[in-house]
């Protein structure tokens, strides 16, 4: 049980919610400046073609239109750079901010219109005529490659990872189990579409961009470099963010264009994306095909895994570069002992929307592949899926466990874990034996019901550093200035809890600043489930440093040794309860500007939370619909700063995982025309489809890599959902290995049911 006097470990109320509940949220669309112009993007309606000309004369003649830009106006701006996993050979495939000689996907920015009114800008954009000579589109990433340009093919690179003697393992195998599996193209689709508002303050020579998210400091540095500024005369500001999920906050063409325009015209420029634009232009993710095989012994123990896969990255390599396929290759072994391993990932370009990361990038895909493989091995050996997993799990005594693989610039070493214990606890919460008996009885009565299990290891806490500054103001309020961003995950609350415990104050008296590049010079932002681990420890370090300083300064004023003093409820007191006391506010007033401290947490290794999902489903044989009747999640994160926030992260992640498992998919016709351009075509789960979920948060394996034992919690709700649902559907059909493609839409499931009847 947590200490009631402490805040870490308690489910205290979120500090972020009050302004949102009172309608005082400030999202990108809420930001406006006097005299601003509105930018509208003219996008290609052709998936692949040679750009022969652009006629903007009719648009320029429309009253209220200020300017129209094409590539010649921004030719001096370099292509958008890579933020992660930027392999050198990928650089020719980067995207320019406006199309130059070719268009490569429907939705690609070709020109931008600036007008005094958003409606005029939209009308003017319709008047811009594009002369495009259509070329054959490349739409199948696993098929033949085609030309990207005159000198480069559509296979941009190949990821290779592995260890051990693969050939010897397959030669010695009792059996070889093989599968071909695919995950469908889908994305985050947050409530708030993208937006960017730029303003140039000529008097101060400062360029501002509002609407930043995720990685404001990195974006500041690189947008500034692209348009000829320095990091010192450019500021990015994050407001409230209506969801991030990996796709928000990267550098997109529109971000650069509004900044360049505000600088060129000395006028504020605003761009807000509409929903159709978002569905065809913001980063997609997930689309991969895997050809995997495993060498096993007679008991189903893995001897080796060999996996070749094709990653459909869409038309360009955007800021994430090779991150998603690299993570897929590196994290595929999961919680299992794999003596020999080889992964070969083909990064292919197609004439579709470019891809990036989406919650649990590369792991949602590879967990589906690995867990489907485990179920296939179980069926081959003739034992159940739980037992095959037990036989192959890495043991607690083997921790830390070196995977002999690298990703995101780090060596993968599982820091701690007791995978078998969490499996037992999760199955107990699910009532596994009773559930199995109930499902078997219902199947005998003619119902198509089943249950499945999926296990996974996540990565989190990506370094290399985070810096935090903490200061006590003269009114006693405490300000924690961070270099992270908030995308709804509860940054303000969690950091306030950590600082409060270190300082001996109420967490509600702490104001956490994030996403403001003018307040702190460096920051790594929010991605890769890094914030609680990295910023949390930096917050603790800075707060402890401030605590020590406060006690030393108070000791001078109170004529007492600092070791004889303590801070309780914001008051500096003697430990023996004798003599005078003073509040932190009084000390701050007595020593103005002195009650501040800054510290940095450095880390060269990630930390690895892990989990188990259990799903029970019912298949409607008349419609092909899948109803989720029971869902249980067990997740070990080392230490939960705020259990309720963790549970909320997991529940929200489950909803997104269900979308990719059963409903969401971006599809294209033979000409590369996107067919999922509204919410009537791109189906997301509603409250009706998302089940009640039972969540077990455990702290059996604290990380040894940070003093609080923290691990990240942002992606564990999403990671194995497709795998667990597929396993449960197989069980309902009583046909192991049936589900090999995601999403399992009603149409696809009906085809499988009809095929079953025909046999």
Per the domain annotation, does 64 fall within a domain? yes
What confidence score (pLDDT) does residue 475 get?
87
Write out pLDDT tens, residues 101-148. 999 999 999 999 999 999 999 999 999 999 999 999 999 999 999 999
Span 247-255, average pLDDT: 97
One domain for residues 704 and 744: yes
One domain for residues 81 and 197: yes
Domain final position from 549, 575, 602: 602
What confidence score (pLDDT) does residue 759 get?
59
Domain final position from 574, 602, 630: 602
Pair 551, 564: CB distance under 8 Å: no
The tally of CA atoms less than 13 A away on the side-chain side of residue 31 is: 24
One domain for residues 306 and 213: no
pLDDT surpasses 90 at 578: no
Residue 408: is it exposed, middle or buried by C-beta count within 10 angstroms (0-12/13-18/19+)?
Answer: middle
Domain final position from 602, 634, 668: 602
One domain for residues 743 and 686: yes
Per the domain annotation, does 54 fall within a domain? yes
What confidence score (pLDDT) does residue 672 get?
98
Q: How far is CA 507 from CA 476, 494, 510, 600, in A?
A: 12, 9, 6, 21
Pair 628, 617: CB distance under 8 Å: yes
One domain for residues 515 and 450: no
Q: Work out the end-to-end distance of the chain between its first and last CA atoms, rounded to an integer number of angstroms.
A: 57
One domain for residues 617 and 519: no
Per the domain annotation, does 541 fall within a domain? yes
Span 232-250, average pLDDT: 96
pLDDT surpasses 90 at 321: yes
What confidence score (pLDDT) does residue 433 get?
98
Write out pLDDT tens, residues 499-551. 999 999 999 999 999 999 999 999 999 999 999 999 999 999 999 999 999 99
One domain for residues 371 and 313: yes
What confidence score (pLDDT) does residue 2 get?
46
Per the domain annotation, does 611 fall within a domain? yes
What confidence score (pLDDT) does residue 71 get?
98
Number of domains present in the structure of the chain? 3
Per the domain annotation, does 267 fall within a domain? yes
pLDDT surpasses 70 at 758: no
Write out pLDDT tens, residues 336-358. 999 999 999 999 999 999 999 99
Helix or strand (DSSP H, E) at 294: strand 288-296
One domain for residues 454 and 483: no
* Structural domain of 726: 288-461+606-758
One domain for residues 226 and 323: no
CB within 8 Å of 418: residues ≥ 6 apart: 396, 636, 700, 701
Q: What strand order describes the sheet that includes 195-201?
A: 65-69, 109-115, 37-43, 269-272, 195-201, 206-210, 234-237
Q: For the chain, what is the mean pLDDT?
A: 97
Span 611-617, average pLDDT: 98
Per the domain annotation, does 184 fall within a domain? no
Q: Which of 633, 628, 692, 621 is nearest to 663 (CA)?
A: 628
Residue 4: band (very low, low, confident or very high) from pLDDT cuts 50, 70, 90: low
CATH number at residue 252: 3.90.1170.50
CATH number at residue 570: 3.30.365.10
Pair 394, 335: CB distance under 8 Å: yes
What confidence score (pLDDT) does residue 577 get?
87
One domain for residues 628 and 713: yes
One domain for residues 472 and 383: no
What confidence score (pLDDT) does residue 3 get?
63
One domain for residues 199 and 122: yes
pLDDT surpasses 50 at 214: yes
d(CA 449, CA 729): 8
Per the domain annotation, does 160 fall within a domain? no
Per the domain annotation, does 443 fall within a domain? yes
In this structure, are strands 478-482 and 510-513 parallel, antiparallel, or unpaired? parallel
């Amino acid at each position: 049980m947590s200490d009631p006097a402490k805040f870490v470990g308690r489910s205290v109320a979120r500090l972020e919610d009050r302004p949102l509940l009172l309608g005082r949220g400030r999202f990108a669309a809420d930001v406006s400046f006097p005299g601003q112009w509105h930018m509208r993007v003219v996008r290609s309606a052709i998936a692949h073609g040679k750009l022969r000309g652009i006629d903007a004369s009719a648009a320029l003649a429309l009253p209220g239109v200020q300017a129209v830009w094409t590539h010649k106006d921004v030719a001096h701006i370099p292509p958008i750079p890579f933020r992660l996993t930027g392999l050198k050979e990928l650089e020719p495939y980067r995207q320019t901010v406006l199309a130059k000689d070719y268009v490569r996907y429907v939705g690609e920015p070709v020109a931008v219109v600036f007008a005094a009114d958003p409606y005029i800008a939209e009308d003017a954009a319709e008047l811009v005529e594009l002369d495009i000579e259509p070329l054959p589109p490349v739409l199948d990433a696993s098929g033949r490659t085609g030309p990207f340009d005159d000198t480069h093919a559509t296979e941009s690179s190949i990821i290779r990872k592995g260890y051990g003697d693969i050939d010897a393992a397959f030669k010695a195998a009792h059996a070889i189990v093989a599968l071909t599996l695919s995950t469908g193209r889908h994305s985050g689709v947050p409530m708030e579409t993208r937006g960017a508002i730029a303003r140039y303050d000529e008097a101060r020579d400062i360029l501002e961009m509002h609407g930043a998210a995720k990685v404001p400091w990195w974006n500041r540095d690189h947008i500034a470099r692209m348009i000829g500024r320095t990091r010192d005369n450019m500021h990015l500001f994050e407001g409230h963010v209506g969801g991030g999920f990996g796709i928000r906050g990267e550098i997109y063409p529109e971000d650069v264009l509004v900044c360049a325009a505000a600088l060129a015209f000395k006028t504020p420029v605003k761009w807000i994306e509409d929903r159709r634009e978002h569905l065809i232009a913001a980063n997609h993710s997930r689309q991969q095909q895997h050809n995997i095989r495993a060498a096993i012994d007679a008991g189903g123990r893995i001897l080796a895994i060999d996996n070749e896969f094709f990653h459909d990255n869409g038309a360009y390599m955007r800021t994430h570069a090779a991150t998603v396929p690299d993570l897929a290759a590196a994290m595929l072994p999961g919680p299992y002992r794999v003596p020999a391993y080889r992964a070969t990932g083909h990064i292919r370009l197609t004439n579709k929307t470019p891809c990036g990361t989406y919650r649990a990038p590369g792991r949602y895909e590879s967990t589906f592949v690995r867990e489907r493989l485990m179920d296939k091995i179980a069926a081959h050996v003739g034992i159940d899926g739980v037992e095959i997993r037990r036989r192959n799990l890495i043991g607690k005594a083997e921790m830390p466990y070196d995977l002999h693989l690298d990703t995101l610039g780090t060596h993968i070493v599982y820091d701690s874990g007791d995978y078998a214990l969490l499996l037992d606890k999760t199955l107990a919460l699910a009532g596994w034996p009773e559930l199995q008996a109930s499902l078997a009885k219902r199947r005998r009565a003619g119902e198509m019901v089943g249950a499945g299990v999926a296990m996974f290891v996540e990565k989190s806490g990506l370094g290399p550093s985070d810096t935090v500054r903490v200061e006590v103001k003269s009114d006693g309020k405490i300000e924690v200035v961070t270099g992270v961003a908030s995308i709804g995950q509860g940054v303000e609350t969690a950091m306030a809890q950590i600082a409060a415990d270190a300082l001996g104050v109420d967490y509600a008296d702490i104001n956490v600043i994030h996403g403001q590049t003018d307040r702190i010079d460096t920051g790594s932002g929010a991605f890769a489930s890094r914030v609680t681990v990295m910023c949390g420890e930096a917050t603790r370090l800075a707060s402890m440093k401030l605590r020590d300083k406060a006690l030393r300064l108070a000791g001078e004023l109170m004529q007492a040794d600092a070791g004889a003093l303590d801070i309780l409820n914001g008051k500096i007191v003697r430990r023996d309860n004798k003599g005078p006391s003073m509040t932190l506010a009084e000390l701050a007033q007595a020593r103005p500007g002195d009650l501040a401290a800054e510290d940095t947490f450095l880390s060269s290794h990630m930390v690895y939370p892990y989990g188990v999902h259990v799903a029970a489903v019912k298949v409607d044989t008349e419609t092909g619909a899948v109803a989720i009747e029971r869902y249980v999640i067990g997740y070990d994160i080392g230490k939960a700063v705020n259990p309720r926030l963790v549970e909320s992260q997991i529940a929200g992640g489950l909803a997104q995982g269900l979308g990719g498992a059963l409903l969401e998919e971006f599809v294209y016709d033979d000409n590369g025309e996107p067919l999922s351009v509204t919410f009537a075509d791109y189906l997301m789960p509603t409250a009706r489809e998302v089940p009640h979920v039972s969540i077990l948060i455990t702290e059996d394996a604290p990380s040894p890599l940070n003093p609080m034992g923290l691990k990240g919690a942002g992606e564990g709700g999403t990671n194995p959902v497709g795998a667990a649902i597929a396993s449960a559907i197989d069980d309902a059909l009583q046909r192991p290995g049936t589900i090999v493609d995601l999403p399992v839409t009603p149409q696809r499931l009906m085809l499988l049911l009809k095929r079953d009847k025909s046999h």
